[in-house]
Amino acid sequence: MSVSRESGRVFDEKQGYLTRAPNMMTLPRGAIRLSKEEVLYLQHQKMRNWIPQSDVWSLRYGSGICSLGAAVSGVSLNTFFRKQFNLMVYGRMATYMPTIILPMFFSAIMHEVLITGEILTDRFDCLICSQARSSSVQTITGFVQPLMFAPLTCAAAAKIHDTYNLPPWNKPGKFFNIVKDMMKNKGVYLMGLLGLQVVIGTTIASFQQKQTITLMSEDSKHYDYRRSLDEELNN
> In this predicted model, what pLDDT tens digit does every residue of 86-118 receive, in sequence order?
999 999 999 999 999 999 999 999 999 999 999
- Domain assignment present for residue 188? The answer is yes
Percent of the chain surpassing pLDDT 70: 79
- Domain assignment present for residue 20? The answer is no
Burial of residue 232 (number of CB atoms within 10 Å: 0-12, 13-18, 19+): middle
Give the pLDDT of residue 215. 81
Residues in the chain: 235
The C-alpha atoms of residue 137 and residue 230 are separated, in whole angstroms, by 36
Contacts of 223 (CB under 8 A, 6+ apart): 15, 46, 49, 50
- Domain assignment present for residue 209? The answer is yes
- Domain assignment present for residue 80? The answer is yes
- Domain assignment present for residue 197? The answer is yes
Mean pLDDT for 176-202 is 95
Q: What is the DSSP letter of 114?
A: I
Each residue of 40-51: pLDDT tens digit? 888 888 888 888
Res. 151: pLDDT tops 80: yes
Res. 14: pLDDT tops 50: no
Res. 186: pLDDT tops 90: yes
Distances (CA, A) of 143 to 9, 129, 171, 192, 201: 49, 21, 26, 10, 12
Give the pLDDT of residue 204. 97
Which residue, among 103, 73, 81, has the nearest Cα to 183 in the 3D structure?
81
- Domain assignment present for residue 221? The answer is no
- Our count of domains for the chain comes to 1
- Domain assignment present for residue 26? The answer is no
Q: Which domain holds residue 190?
A: 54-214
| DSSP letters for 127-157 | HHHHHHHHHHHHHIIIIIHHHHHHHHHHHHH
Task: Residue 44: count other Cβ atoms within 10 Å of its Cβ.
Answer: 16
- Domain assignment present for residue 79? The answer is yes
